[in-house]
Amino acid sequence: MESLVEQMHRFFDPKSVAVVGASRKITKAGHVIFKNFADNKRRGIFRGELYPVNPHEEFILAFRCYPSITEIIGEVELVIIVVPAKVVPQIMREAAVKGVKAAVIISAGFSEIGNHKLEEQVTTIAKEAGIRVLGPNCLGVYDSHTGVDMLFLPETKVLTTGDEVVATPRPMAGHMAVVTQSGAFGASALDYLAGKQLGVSKFVSFGNKSDIDESEMLSYLLHDEKTWVILMYAESVEAGREFMEVAREITKKKPIVALKVGKTNAGARAALSHTGAIAGSDSIYNAAFTQVGVVRAGDMEEFFDTGKALALQPPAVGNNIAVVTDAGGPAIMAVDECELKGIKVKEFSAETVQKFEELKRDGTIPSFATNLNPLDLTGSATSEMFEQGTRIVLDDPEVHGVIVIGLHHVPALEEDFVDRIADLSKSYSKPVVACDIGETEMALYIRSRFDKFGIPAYTTPEDAARAMAALVNYGLHLKRSGSFEQYLESFQKRVKT
C-alpha cells in the first residue's frame, strides 16, 4: 500500500502530466497552465512527460494534442483539469480508466456556489478509482524546484500602451511552503514573496478540499527537506482533531504559521460564501493553535514577516529581549510592542551595565549613551559601536534575543555595520532581528543586505518586535514539548549547508 508521502509526491514531481482543457487561446486558463509546463520543460526544469488534451486541436505549442486522456500512449500519473464543471465527472471517469492516481481540478462551479451534488459525484468517482484529488476551485501547485506550475495566472501582461510588465511573478526557490484555501490570496502571496525576494519551496492551493486537506498536506511537508517553515492560510479546518494531532507532531520539527480568517461574524459569513467553509469559533482556533504550537499571525504582513524570521533565525530559549539602537523613539516603539506581545525587555544585569560603562570610559561608545535596555548609542553611532554593544548584549545569559534598530540616517554609521552584526550573530544561538525605517534606496539596501546574511530585517520597530515574539513563542513551545535542543541542532545544520 502506498504511503501518504508517495501519494502527495505525485502533485509536486510527477513523471507524466496531462492538461485537460489545454488551449491555443492565450487568454484561456488552459493555455497558461500548459505553457507554464511547456516552458519549464524546454528549460530543463520540468522533467516529466507532458500531454495536452483537447478534442478540437491537433497541436498546442508544438506538442501533439490528444482528444481524451484514454488515447494518450503511455502512463499518465497526474491530470490537471481546466474544463467547465459539468464536464469534470466525465473527465474523472476517463482518468479512472487510464489508471491516473492524482488529479488537480482547477475548475470552479462546485460546492462554493452550492453545487454540492456535482462535487460529491466527482469525489465518489475518485475514491472508487483510488485517485487523490486537489480542489476543485483551486490554483493547484507551484514547486520552485521541479518546474511544476499549475497557476493559470500569466507571469507578464501587456498594457494598453504596448509595454509588457511583470504581473504574477514566481518566487525564487527557497524554504517556505505556502498552503492556502484561497487561490486569490495565494496569487497575492506569490507576488508579495517575489517582490520581497523571499524564496518558496512549495505552494499549494486547496480550494474546496473535496479530498486532500491541510492535515494530509502538512504531513507531507513534514518530510520535505526543502521546506523549513510552513505558512498556512485557512478559512476553516474541518477535521479539527486530526489537524491538531498532525500539527502537534510537525511543530516539534518545523514551525507552522497560520493566518486564520473569519474572526468576526461578518468574516465567517464571507468565508462560507467564498469556499463553502464553516469558519467556527475564533476563540476555539486560538486555543487549539496555542495548544499544538502553531504560531498565529494577526494579518497578512505579520504572516510573511513571521515566516521569514522562523526560516532565518533560531528560536529563543527564553522571553527576555534586548534592543540595541541608534534611535530612541523607534526603540521605545519596539519595547512597547514587545510588552504588548507578552515578551519582556528587562533592564540589563549589573555586570552587563558595567561593561557598557567601561566602553564609555575608553570612548568606544558615547558617554551619554543610555544602557539600561534599550542600549541607545544615539545619533553618534558607528559600525564599531553597534558591533561592540551587540556583542556585550549577546554575551549576557539573561538576554534571549536581540532587536537591532540601526537607522542608516545617522552620519557616522556605515553600511558595514550589517556585515558586522551578521558575522557576530553566527557565534551565538540567540535570534537577532533588525529594523531600518524608510523606503529610500539606502533603506532598501540595508534591509536586503541583512536578509541576505540571514538576519530578518523589517520596515518598522513593531514589525521587528512581532517577528521576535514569534521566535520567542515558538522557542517556548519547543521547550514545553521537550524538542528545543533537537530542533536547534537541525536548524544549525541546515544553516551551515
273 and 390, same structural domain?
A: no
What is the predicted pLDDT for the residue at 263?
65
What is the predicted pLDDT for the residue at 276?
42
What is each CA distance from 49 to 33, 54, 93, 154, in whole angstroms? 15, 17, 22, 22
The amino acid at residue 452 is K
Which segments of the chain have a pLDDT < 70? 263-280
291 and 360, same structural domain?
A: no
283 and 357, same structural domain?
A: no
What is the predicted pLDDT for the residue at 268?
46
41 and 73, same structural domain?
A: yes
90 and 9, same structural domain?
A: yes
Distance, CA of 385 to CA of 379 (rounded, Å): 11
190 and 65, same structural domain?
A: yes
165 and 55, same structural domain?
A: yes
327 and 293, same structural domain?
A: no
- Across-strand partners of 202? 143
Element (H, E) at 447: helix 441-452
CA torsion 482-483-484-486 (nearest 10°) is 140
What is the predicted pLDDT for the residue at 182?
87
Which residues constitute the domain of residue 9?
Answer: 4-308
Q: Among all chains, which residue has been given the C-alpha cell 566602553?
A: 359
User: DSSP labels for 174-202?
Assistant: EEEEEEES-HHHHHHHHHHHHHTT--EEE
Distance, CA of 250 to CA of 219 (rounded, Å): 7
Identify whether the C-beta of residue 447 lies closer than 8 Å to the C-beta of residue 457: yes
Domain boundary among 283, 308, 333: 308
Please report, for the domain that includes residue 405, its CATH number. 3.40.50.261
Please tell me the total count of domains within the chain. 2
Element (H, E) at 79: strand 78-81
What is the predicted pLDDT for the residue at 239?
74
Record the pTM: 0.92
Distance, CA of 293 to CA of 311 (rounded, Å): 16
Domain boundary among 286, 308, 330: 308
| Distant-in-sequence, close-in-space partners of 133: CB < 8 Å, separation ≥ 6 | 102, 103, 104, 105, 122, 123, 126, 210, 211, 212
377 and 258, same structural domain?
A: no
393 and 287, same structural domain?
A: no
CA angle 324, 403, 490 (to 5 degrees): 135
Q: 303-323 in b/e burial notation, b at 16+ Cβ within 10 A?
A: bbbbbbbbbbbbbbbbbbbbb
Domain boundary among 308, 331, 355: 308
346 and 259, same structural domain?
A: no
110 and 259, same structural domain?
A: yes
Q: Among all chains, which residue has been given the C-alpha cell 541583512?
A: 450
